[in-house]
């Protein structure tokens, strides 16, 4: 079974401060990890995936298989980063269900 | 940019009634999904669908649920006899390929189902 854990529910940060959202997963096989974001009154959308190894909107995330983690980081938070962030896992090359964490509400204080 | 659409945005129904939630996936996508999110809880996978049949379903997707692609564009989720605990936001998603090969799932805006 796949499980994704996001420990903090609400994270408030000041504009310009660093943001780190923690994500740990449990899966016996080879996972594919994602971060999805949901801005106010908008749909869930993909922010980034580990397989792409790219930075999107200043966010990065590195898959650490030893620690089974996929933490999301941004060095300098912007007001437009205020949103709900979900970490998700899908088994690589196998079935295609996404297993989501509970999500983090990020509030960036101006 | 093409988007997944869902109707209605909000559905209120009485316990025991049948509901059909509708989705129009992105036109060149081949894989379709339903998820739900009970208020305050995780987004949970319900079912995936490919080539006119269910690829995978979760333990939530029992005999009260069914999915169908009645024509070339719509993808529906039917709940035969709704229960109070079916109240949730239901999300439809589609992808070109299985996510496990690096393809993104695109989500619709959701249908809020309220069972009274």
Average pLDDT, chain A: 91
Q: Do B56 and A97 touch (CB under 8 A)?
A: yes
Q: Do B56 and A92 touch (CB under 8 A)?
A: no
Banded model confidence at residue A2, pLDDT cuts 50, 70, 90? confident
Nearest CA distance, B100 vs chain A (angstrom) = 4
Asked whether residue B81 is domain-assigned, the answer is yes
Q: Which residue has the tokens 């943001």?
A: A19
Percent above pLDDT 70 for chain A: 96
Banded model confidence at residue A93, pLDDT cuts 50, 70, 90? low
- Number of structural domains found in chain B: 1
Is residue B6 within 8 A of residue B109, CB to CB? The reply is yes
Closest chain B residue to A102, measured at CA: B42
Nearest CA distance, A74 vs chain B (angstrom) = 22
* Structure tokens, A53: 């190894």
Asked whether residue B69 is domain-assigned, the answer is yes
- What pLDDT does residue A54 have? 81
Tally of residues, chain B: 116
What does pLDDT average to in each consecutive run of 10 residues of chain B (116 residues)? 94 97 94 94 94 92 94 92 97 80 84 98
Residue A95, pLDDT > 60, answer: no
Reference B58, options B82, B77, B35; nearest CA is B35
Asked whether residue B86 is domain-assigned, the answer is yes
pLDDT, tens digit, 9 for 90 and up, residues A24-44: 999 988 888 999 999 998 999
Asked whether residue B101 is domain-assigned, the answer is no
Torsion of CA B88, A44, A69, A1, to 10 degrees: 40
- What pLDDT does residue A12 have? 96
- What pLDDT does residue B99 have? 56
- Number of structural domains found in chain A: 1
Is residue B104 within 8 A of residue B98, CB to CB? The reply is no
Q: What is the CATH number of the domain that holds A46?
A: 2.60.40.10
* Containing structural domain, residue B33: 5-96+109-113
- What pLDDT does residue A106 have? 97
On chain B, the residues whose CB falls within 8 A of the CB of A86 are: 43
Nearest CA distance, A4 vs chain B (angstrom) = 10
Smallest Cβ–Cβ distance between A94 and the set B35, B100, B108 belongs to: B100
Mark out chain B residues that contact chain A at CB-CB < 8 A: 3-4, 31, 33, 35, 41-45, 48, 55-56, 58, 91, 95, 98-102, 104-110
Is residue B100 within 8 A of residue A93, CB to CB? The reply is yes
Asked whether residue B34 is domain-assigned, the answer is yes
* Containing structural domain, residue A54: 3-109
Q: Is A55 helix (H, G, I), strand (E, B) or coil?
A: coil
Q: What is the CATH number of the domain that holds B71?
A: 2.60.40.10
């Amino acid at each position: 079974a796949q499980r994704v854990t996001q420990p903090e529910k609400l994270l408030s940060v000041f504009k310009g401060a660093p943001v780190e959202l923690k994500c740990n997963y449990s899966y016996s096989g080879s996972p594919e990890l994602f971060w999805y974001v949901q801005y106010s009154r908008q749909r869930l959308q993909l922010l980034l995936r580990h397989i792409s190894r790219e930075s999107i909107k200043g966010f990065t995330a590195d898959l650490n298989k030893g620690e089974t983690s996929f933490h999301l980081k941004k060095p300098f938070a912007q007001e437009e980063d205020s949103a709900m962030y979900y970490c998700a896992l899908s088994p690589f090359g196998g079935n295609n269900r996404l297993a989501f964490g509970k999500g983090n509400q990020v509030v960036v204080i101006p | 940019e093409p988007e997944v659409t869902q109707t209605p945005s909000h559905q209120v129904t009485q316990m025991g009634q049948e509901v059909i939630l509708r989705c129009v996936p992105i036109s060149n996508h081949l894989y379709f999904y339903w998820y739900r999110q009970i208020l305050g809880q995780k987004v949970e996978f319900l079912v995936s669908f490919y080539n006119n049949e269910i690829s995978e379903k979760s333990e939530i997707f029992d005999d009260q649920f069914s999915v169908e692609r009645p024509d070339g564009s719509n993808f529906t989720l039917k709940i035969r006899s709704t229960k109070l605990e079916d109240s949730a936001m239901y999300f439809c998603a589609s992808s070109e390929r299985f996510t496990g090969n690096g393809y993104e799932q695109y989500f619709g805006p959701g249908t809020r189902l309220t069972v009274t």
